Amino acid sequence: MNSKAVATPKRTKEILNTYGFAFKKSLGQNFIIDVNILKNIIQHAEIDKAAAAIEIGPGIGALTEQLAQHADRVVAFEIDQRLVPILEDTLTDYDNVSIINQDILQADVRQVITEQFEKGQPIKVVANLPYYITTPILMKLLMDRLPVDSITVMIQKEVAERMAASPNSKSYGSLSIAVQYYTEAEVAMTVPKTVFMPQPNVDSSVLHLKMRDEPPVQVENEDFFFKLVQATFGQRRKTLMNNLARHFKSTMDKQEINQRLEAAGIDPKRRGESLSMQEFATLAQNFRAHLNE
């Protein structure tokens, strides 16, 4: 079986030639041509025969094939209709795979989980995501609070670093907080561009997100919390005071903002990148209380 793995340069070229498949730049298609990388991803995702896997963007089935060998069931969402017959061919040996020809951003993933997987089965999302749409896909999966255990994805190295960043680092920003509010995030490995066909312009990383049972901080209004976080990073080089004054200009003057910051025990001269998630939660609580007075 392995000698015929999809993820080799030779087999990938054969499949593409057989079907006359041309990569669509608009869909960010880069196929993995290295089986060892895929085995590492499977390992980081902790896929075993008890687990069900959801894949996004299976391409010609390189990762899907490995998932099918290691997981109980695999459901893969593929937006490109041209790939459906190719996947039916490359995955013909596996009866535990379903391909859904749909955009993951439009899909009712919760319903698919109910229909396709056993009740209570551990579910892992595993994917080699297109760069151009990584953040919207991950944020949808997180904000929909799907019953999944973890998400393990190959994404642009720089984006992976931002999602897993700690305070006081240049990668840390509103995206770090949004992702870490829902998950424990770690960069599992870095991957050179040479393992892809065609080669992208940037290096990639495998990001592992373990879903949290509860957020690490208590927030009364999540929408307000995330907007406030975004506002503090509005202009990275500016202080909290300046960014918040801009954000709240129609509802609060600088003196009131100063009072709120002091009430939260936070120096107005600090920058957003120096605040921990707990400090952001305290800040949000103080500002919201003031606006509701």
Q: What is the DSSP letter of 235?
A: S
Residue 129: in which H helix or E strand, if any?
A: none
**Cα–Cα distance for residue pair 157/190, rounded to 1 Å:** 7
Collapsing DSSP states into helix, strand and coil, what is residue 238? coil
The partner residues of 52 in beta bridges, in order of sequence, read 73, 123
Residues 49, 71 contacting (CB under 8 angstroms): yes
Residues that constitute the known binding site: 30, 32, 57, 78, 103, 128
Q: Contacts from 118-122 at CB under 8 Å and sequence distance 24+?
A: 118/52, 118/72, 121/50, 121/51, 121/52, 121/72, 121/73, 122/50, 122/51, 122/52, 122/149
Residues 64, 127 contacting (CB under 8 angstroms): no
Residues 290, 256 contacting (CB under 8 angstroms): yes
Collapsing DSSP states into helix, strand and coil, what is residue 21? coil
Residues that constitute the known binding site for S-adenosyl-L-methionine: 30, 32, 57, 78, 103, 128
Residues 248, 239 contacting (CB under 8 angstroms): no
